[in-house]
A and B are shown apart, each in its own frame.
Chain A
């Protein structure tokens, strides 16, 4: 709900920013018989849904910078910042490299735990960097007009990524699947939204009896070594919001 609201807000704000001064529009009354009354499509030899695409991606590079927010992360800082570079083989397939650097802090929930119970999750190894090869399958090219003077082209795509996530102590292989949407405000510039589910081995930050630092009156414990933390398969859902430029 919140995500959708945020998305809509960004789109509307951007459209308004790009809104040009309206032309001297005059109301023209269209005769009834000239208005569309069929939802069927004309028949051509080869049925192509769009001609003269405004946004042509085939055989072009696109570079992105993005901010990522982990939606299901309880302990570590939910933010990461990254950049990616894709090559579009055609209008359907693209492949690129994605790099992200995680913010080094803790989540607000972890800070709360620290304040109330003296649990210091800075002792656990934090995620540091992410490097993945990302394949995009562009399934739908569309168009929307929020105002009568601005048109936004959209590309909906599915993504599958494979790579490594580096924690402070160790690197782990990671896979991610997701869905994304680009909103092109010009034939080059686009806002990019990616919703991904990551799966990777990761240290469990909850280590019984070794996380208290004594700040809330509890007994301080000796900080554990990173090797003391057990590992498990961890799933993280992230939403990336970025700016994309098509070269």
Chain B
């Protein structure tokens, strides 16, 4: 990287001179010619500074020179080198603006180079807008081989977003084995194959990924994500037992484990392993999950109880669903109705982030479980990450008082402030979209809860009918003991009194049996 910059600067030191030689037309005025040569000498000085590693000084001088109308012809070159200086200073967002300017100038030499640099900078920043802008203009043939994998990966992402899954999978396949993007590309390829409806291909891809990460630590993110994706793919293939087994391979000390437990419960229900599913619910509905938004899990539990004719427990779970998610639904609705400002939506995320990461309290208008769920959505997470990058860059500028006071420093702060503001608005819009989805989802789930309640009443009626008809319903495990005990707790190894321990989470077992005829 450094070598390339030095070569570029060395070439640039010659260019102004040759530029002068080419422009051998008579100077209109002597004074103008002298000023121009002065400026070109300043430019040469700035480039020398850059060559000597004085990036901040060089960048400041280049920034000033880049605004001079006399150097309009050299502007693409100046801006491009300024951009590379800013990359060296880790001021990626400010650098991105220089590269965008160069691309817009449509200079035959520097535009292509700027696109390549912009792709790299956008990749570091993780900003979708810049990434799309850069990657959509890229001609892969112009990109050095070292950068091609990243471009294939990002192009694959764009295709996947446009729901062109076959093309996306093909682009992901081009990412080389040695690339840092390889495993992400492999994972995304599997997802694209699943989205295409090609579950067997997806399963093969994820198996390959799990095998490839065989020597990685147990909690390696790529390995665990691949394992989780494999379990999901097996579920999609309706291979319930294999899916359950794959889910059980997810290590407990990873954040993905919580999703795995819930999704495994679905697979267990489909495999008619009701007792096992209820064991998982003992964990998922423990106090450790009070901040988790999981309305579906309560309905799923009610359905399992329906299958094993535990109507009292079923009613308790349905009531819990209504008591918990009824107010949530109302609050989401009220918030959406009363709030239009995107910033207000963003502020909720910011406050929830304080609650999540510190012990401080924050006055949220939405329930914490809702905002926490929204914060975990991919697009919001990604934008929050971009915002963090912007803040880091801002700190870098502010930590150097001389640079901060310079014209470039002020320009940089202005750019960062604008980008931050716009990103916050964008996050606000994303939050609103997710809230609207949640409201719709809750409405649907409420309808389903109504159907489940109907089935519960029907089941009770049938049981009473059988009793009246004198049919022997058989011995039940809970015939001789207080029913309340089971309704509250399920059947445990010891009298469970509502106290949950971290080392017990995931180890609860439901020991009841079905109450059906």
**Residues in chain A within 8 A of chain B (CB atoms):** 20, 23-24, 26, 28, 30-31, 33-34, 36, 38, 40-54, 143, 145, 147-151, 153
Closest 9 CB pairs of A and B: A51-B287, A40-B253, A54-B499, A51-B500, A28-B511, A52-B287, A36-B507, A52-B498, A38-B252
> Across the interface, which residues of A come within 8 angstroms of B288, CB to CB?
42, 44, 48, 51
Is B293's beta carbon under 8 Å from chain A?
A: no
B362 to chain A, nearest CB (A): 14
> Across the interface, which residues of B come within 8 angstroms of A143, CB to CB?
499, 501
Contact with A along B337-348 (1 / 0, CB 8 A): 000000000000
- Whether the Cβ atoms of A150 and B495 lie closer than 8 Å is yes
Give Cα distance in the complex from A155 to B18, angstroms. 84
Give Cα distance in the complex from A151 to B495, angstroms. 7
Give Cα distance in the complex from A44 to B255, angstroms. 7
| Residues 466-485 of B at the A interface (beta carbon under 8 Å) | 477-481, 485
- Whether the Cβ atoms of B499 and A52 lie closer than 8 Å is yes
Q: How many A-B residue pairs have CB under 8 A?
A: 96
B495 to chain A, nearest CB (A): 6
> Across the interface, which residues of B come within 8 angstroms of A41, CB to CB?
252-253, 502-503, 505
Is B493's beta carbon under 8 Å from chain A?
A: yes
Q: Which of B245, B477, B509 contacts A30 (CB 8 A)?
A: B509
Give Cα distance in the complex from A111 to B225, angstroms. 76
Is B286's beta carbon under 8 Å from chain A?
A: yes
A43 to chain B, nearest CB (A): 5
Give Cα distance in the complex from A48 to B288, angstroms. 9
Given contacts A45-B291, A51-B286, A151-B495, contact A40 B251 (CB under 8 A): yes
Q: Which of B252, B356, B511 contacts A45 (CB 8 A)?
A: B356
Give Cα distance in the complex from A48 to B509, angstroms. 22
Residue of B nearest to A51 (CB): B287
| Residues 84-103 of B at the A interface (beta carbon under 8 Å) | none
**Residues in chain B within 8 A of chain A (CB atoms):** 244-245, 248, 251-255, 257-258, 275-276, 279, 286-288, 290-291, 356-357, 359, 477-481, 485, 491, 493-495, 497-503, 505-507, 509, 511, 513
Give Cα distance in the complex from A40 to B255, angstroms. 13
- Whether the Cβ atoms of A49 and B502 lie closer than 8 Å is yes
If over half of B's interface residues share one DSSP class (helix, strand or loop), that class is named, otherwise mixed; here it is: loop
Give Cα distance in the complex from A143 to B495, angstroms. 13
A72 to chain B, nearest CB (A): 38
- Whether the Cβ atoms of B502 and A40 lie closer than 8 Å is no
- Whether the Cβ atoms of B497 and A42 lie closer than 8 Å is no
- Whether the Cβ atoms of B276 and A34 lie closer than 8 Å is yes
Max chain A Cβ within 10 angstroms of own Cβ: one of B480, B506, B513: B506
> Across the interface, which residues of A come within 8 angstroms of B257, CB to CB?
42-43
Give Cα distance in the complex from A48 to B254, angstroms. 16
- Whether the Cβ atoms of A34 and B509 lie closer than 8 Å is yes
Give Cα distance in the complex from A153 to B495, angstroms. 13
B178 to chain A, nearest CB (A): 31
> Across the interface, which residues of A come within 8 angstroms of B477, CB to CB?
24, 26
> Across the interface, which residues of B come within 8 angstroms of A54, CB to CB?
497-499
Give Cα distance in the complex from A150 to B234, angstroms. 42
> Across the interface, which residues of A come within 8 angstroms of B279, CB to CB?
34
**14 A–B contact pairs at CB < 8 A?**
A24-B479, A24-B480, A30-B509, A33-B248, A36-B506, A42-B252, A42-B288, A43-B255, A46-B359, A48-B288, A50-B499, A51-B286, A148-B494, A150-B494
- Whether the Cβ atoms of B513 and A42 lie closer than 8 Å is no
Give Cα distance in the complex from A20 to B478, angstroms. 17
- Whether the Cβ atoms of B495 and A38 lie closer than 8 Å is no
Give Cα distance in the complex from A40 to B498, angstroms. 22
> Across the interface, which residues of B come within 8 angstroms of A153, CB to CB?
499
- Whether the Cβ atoms of B485 and A28 lie closer than 8 Å is no
> Across the interface, which residues of B come within 8 angstroms of A20, CB to CB?
495
Q: Given contacts A24-B480, A31-B276, A44-B288, could you give 4 more A-B pairs where the C-beta distance is less than 8 Å?
A: A23-B481, A36-B506, A46-B359, A149-B494
